[in-house]
Amino acid sequence: MAMTKGGETKDDTAYLILKQTGAEITGTIGPNSGKRLQITKGTADGNNVYIEAVVEGENKLVLRLKVDGDKLAGDLKAEGPTAPPISGKMNLSKEK
41-82 pLDDT tens trace = 999 999 999 999 999 999 999 999 999 998 999 999 999 999
- Decide if pLDDT at 12 tops 90: no
- Decide if pLDDT at 2 tops 80: no
| Averaged pLDDT for residues 83-89 | 90
Q: What confidence score (pLDDT) does residue 26 get?
A: 98
Q: What is the pTM of this model?
A: 0.89
Using a pLDDT cut of 70, give the percent of the chain over it.
99
Q: How many CB atoms lie within 10 A of CB 49?
A: 19
Q: Which fold has domain 2-93?
A: Lipocalin (2.40.128)
